[in-house]
Structure 1
Amino acid sequence: MIRAIALDDEPPALRVLAHFCQQVDFIDLQKTFTRTDEALKYLEQFPVDLLFLDINMPSMSGIDFYKVIGSTSANESQPLMVIFTTAYAEFAVEGFTLNAVDYLLKPFTFDRFLQAANKAADLYRWQQRSDKASEAYLYVRADYSLHKIALADILFIEGLDDYVKIHLRTDKDGRNQASVPRPLVARMTLKVMMERLPNHEFCRVHRSYIVPLTRIEAIRNKTILVAGHEIPIGSSYEADLLNRLGQ
C-alpha cells in the first residue's frame, strides 16, 4: 500500500483527489492539507511514499516546497514520489526536473488520475525490488571491458545503427569520472538499450535518441535541450513524450 498525503490551497481540489484515491486499492491517502507549514510538520513526524502537490500556492510554491522536504519518504533509502497538480501547463518541464512521477493538469479526469497513480505504483514496485542501493547502475560491455555506469550520470543515448553512444556527465572540473570513457560506445541497438533502462526514468524521443526525463531542461520547436545539446523529437515519439510530461 502506497502511503500518501495531498497538499493544495483549494479545498475542492483536495476533495477531488480524496474521491479519486478512494477508488483505487493501492493508495492510502492519509491526510490532506491546505497549508504548507502544516504539511511539513506532518511529514517530519509521519513520512509517506507519495505526495500529491499543487504548484501554484500563495505562501510557497509546490516546487519550492518539494525542494525543502527533499527525500522525506517512508522508505529512507528511496526518494519521496511526487505527482504535481496545477492549472498552469508551463510548470511541467520544471516539475519533471525534480523527478516527478507525473504532472496532472487541472481539471483532470479519473482516467488521467489513474494513469498517474499507476505510474507511481510501478515506480513503487520497482523501488521495492531494488537492492536498496543508494544509486542504480547499468553494466555495458565496450572496449573489451565491462563498464559500470550510474544511471544518474547519463545525459542522453544516441543510436548509431548497431551501436549506441552513451553521453555521460563529467565531474564539475571537467574530468572523467572513474575509468569509463566519455562518451562510451557499445555494440547494441537502441531498442535493446531501451529495454534495459527503467521505463519510468528514460524515454525514447527519436529513432536515434533516448533521454532521461530528469535531464530535460527545455523543449522548443520539437527540440529538447539537455546539457547544451539539442536533441530532435521524432514525430512518432512526440505524443508519448508529451504524455509522459503530462501534456
Structure 2
Amino acid sequence: MIRAIALDDEPPALRILSHFCQQVSFIDLSNTFTRTDEALRHLNQFQTDLLFLDINMPSISGIDFYREISPTSASSQPPMVIFTTAYAEHAVDGFTLNAVDYLLKPFTFERFLQAANKAADFYRWQQRDDSSSNSYLYVRADYTLHKLALADILLIEGLDDYLKIHLDPNSPNGPHPIVTRMTMKAMQERLANSNFVRVHRSYIVPLNRIEAVRHKTLFIADREVPIGASYESDFIHRFGK
C-alpha cells in the first residue's frame, strides 16, 4: 500500500483527489492539507511514499516546497511526487524535479489512474527484494525508471540535491551520465551491501573500478577523484581487503 498525502490550497481539489484515491486499492491517502507548514510537519513525523502537490499556492509554490523537502527522520529520501496544476507550462519544472507525473487541472479519473499507476510501478521497484536486484540500481530521472547494472557504474557524483551517475561509455545506458534527484546518504543506503564506498562528500566509487591511488587521489577511467580526510580511514580499510 502506498502511503500518500495531498497538499492544495483549494479544498474542492483535495476532495476530488480524495474521491479518486478511494477508487484505487493501492493508495492510502492518509491526510490532506491546505497549508504547507502542516504538510511539512506530517512529512517530518510520518513515513510518506507519495505526495500529490499543487503548484500554485499563495505562500510558496509547490515546486519550491518540493525542492526544500529534505530527508527527515521519517524517510531517507523525499517522497515520490505527482504535481497538480492548472498551467501546462509548469510541466517543465516537474520534469526537472523527477516528478512521477503531473496532472493538468481539471483532470479525469482515467488520467489520475495513469499517474497513480506510474507511482505504483516505481514503488514496486523501490520495494523489490529479489536476489537479482543486488546486481542493479534503479533510479528515476526524466520521467523514466532506469535500470543500471552496478558493474557499469564508474562513479557517483553529488551535486547538491542531485546525483550524477557516470557510466561506462560501452554500457547500454551510456555514454551520458544519469542525473537523478537523491541525496548521497540515500544512495549510500541503497549501495550498503555492494562494493561501493564513499571517498569524499561528493563522490561514491566502486572499488573494482579503481585503477590507481596516489597522493589521496583515485584514478578511475581517466578521471581523478579526491579522497576526503574524513573518509580516508574507511576507504583504506575497504580497499585493503
* TM band (smaller chain): 0.5 to 0.7
C-alpha distance in 1 between matches for 2:100 and 2:40: 20
Residue 51 of structure 1 contacts residue 82 of structure 1 at CA under 8 Å; is this kept in 2? yes
Residue 153 of structure 2 contacts residue 165 of structure 2 at CA under 8 Å; is this kept in 1? no
Deviation at residue 93 of structure 1 after TM alignment: 1.3
Deviation at residue 94 of structure 1 after TM alignment: 1.1
Residue 154 of structure 1 contacts residue 166 of structure 1 at CA under 8 Å; is this kept in 2? no
TM-score normalised to the size of structure 2? Answer: 0.59
1:16 equivalenced with 2:27 (yes/no) = no
TM-score normalised to the size of structure 1? Answer: 0.58
Q: Which residue of structure 2 aligns with residue 168 of structure 1? A: 177
Q: Which residue of structure 2 aligns with residue 104 of structure 1? A: 103
Name structure 1 gaps, 5 residues minimum: 141-145, 183-247
Deviation at residue 37 of structure 1 after TM alignment: 1.1
Letter of the structure 1 residue corresponding to residue 153 of structure 2: K
Q: How does 1:19-168 map to 2 (within 5 A)?
A: 19-72=19-72, 76-129=75-128, 138-139=148-149, 147-149=152-154, 152-153=163-164, 166-168=175-177
Deviates more, 1:2-11 or 1:36-45: 36-45
The alignment yields a C-alpha RMSD, in angstroms, of 3.7
C-alpha distance in 1 between matches for 2:51 and 2:8: 11
In structure 2, the CA distance between the partners of 1:127 and 1:55, relative to structure 1 (3 Å rule), is same
Name structure 2 gaps, 5 residues minimum: 140-146, 157-162, 180-201, 203-217, 224-241
Q: Deviations over 1:175-195 (max 9, x none)?
A: xx962468xxxxxxxxxxxxx
Deviation at residue 134 of structure 1 after TM alignment: 9.0
Q: Which residue of structure 1 aligns with residue 234 of structure 2? A: none
- Ranges of 4+ aligned residues in structure 1 off by more than 4 Å: 130-137, 149-152, 154-159
Deviation at residue 153 of structure 1 after TM alignment: 3.2
- The percentage of aligned residue pairs carrying the same residue is 66
- Judging by fraction of residues, say which structure has more helix: 2
Residue 9 of structure 2 contacts residue 57 of structure 2 at CA under 8 Å; is this kept in 1? yes
State how many pairs are aligned: 170
